[in-house]
Amino acid sequence: MHQSVKQIPVARPHLGEEEAAAARDAILTGWVTQGPQVEAFESEFASMTGAPFACAVSSCTAALHMALVALGIGDGDEVITVSHSFIATANAIRYTGAKPVFVDIERDSCNIDPERVEAAISPRTRAILAVHQIGHPCDLTRILHIAQHHSIPVIEDAACAVGSAIRMDGSWQMIGKPHGLIACFSFHPRKVLTTGEGGMITTSEPDLLKRFTLLRQHGMTLTDRQRHNSTQVVFEEYPEIGYNYRMTDIQAAIGRVQLRKLPRLVARRRELAARYSEAIATIDGIECLPLRSWETPNFQSYAIRVLPHFSMDRNALMQFLLARGISTRPGIMNAHQEGAHLEHNPVSLPNSEDARNSMLLLPLFPDMTNVEISYIIDELRAVSQQD
């Protein structure tokens, strides 16, 4: 490994003194659970995405679960989605007692294939859960057309897609507006915007917002702030079973700082991704995901596919790079190949399976230096020239 380059992680959250100060200030107010910072974060996030309403929660998994519950999805129902996603997508469906119906991805985009969505619709289909994989928007225009034709709601798993944009109806729009009925985001440390853990739901339906705010706090009819600010003694009720899916004010304070930084964080990711793409176009045997005219990804991750004629297979390339101080990750997992879902969905999804086995994620994070990305590109070129 080049002596001037230390171990390069696959991702690193961009957190600093501003986030630390925001967390400190929240702590010193004495209000550390869901409170005024959460409310402000929700308002600012909704404004940024163009969504009428936003509801902060403890994770994107919680957001997905609540979205399905709020739509009344349960035992015997089916939800069409991809296997090619982090397992939380499929798990959230199973939490409700419903069945995930896995469809294959498009080979080039690694996103859900709209044609296979339509073919999978049955009388039991209650929703389509469309994933924007690693920040690349899926083909929402076609998916929404299919969904509207069959009167099926669309939930967007936008875990990776904060800051991504899509061209719809003649204009560029942020992911999360939402374009379907509900969109769900993640603020995990590997995501573009992080609160450590946490998530957000956006919707245009006020009745759904009411359901989300009820469900995230044990089904309680009064929030802590309402009770705290009341000049009279009040008593909450619990009309239905809810969950402990709240975000803390400490997390939200960090999220508000991150949200202000989002434009430049995404801009830096796109700059780094453009350098990768320009270089990879000249390296025989590997390819990146093509950019379609109607998408502007946030590049939450940067994926490459190792083709059969490359000088070594995917796993060997990952080991080669690791030995030179370059961390990578394998391609996105497939839920249908994992024990938790295998017996429930004995299907073959060739594009998903090929993507999992042939793709890897290269390092990409805003604080990545030009020296580091040049080093990675040089090592990819070197291994491509081996006999």
- Listed in sequence order, the DSSP H helices in the chain are 17-29, 36-49, 60-70, 88-95, 114-120, 140-150, 206-215, 224-229, 249-280, 314-323, 339-342, 350-358, 370-384
- DSSP-assigned states of every residue in 9-72: -S------HHHHHHHHHHHHHT--SSSHHHHHHHHHHHHHHT-SEEEEES-HHHHHHHHHHHTT
Per the structure block, which two tokens stand in for 380? Answer: 């990819």
Contacts of 233 (CB under 8 A, 6+ apart): none
CB 349 within 8 A of CB 334: yes
Pick from 203, 187, 364, 161: nearest CA to 258: 187
Pick from 177, 208, 201: nearest CA to 70: 208
Active site residues: 191
Rounded to the nearest angstrom, the gap between the alpha carbon of residue 150 and the centroid of all alpha carbons in its chain is 26
Pick from 135, 143, 134, 162: nearest CA to 81: 143
Per-residue H/E/C for 246-272? CCCHHHHHHHHHHHHHHHHHHHHHHHH
- φ, ψ at 157 (rounded to 5°): -85, 90
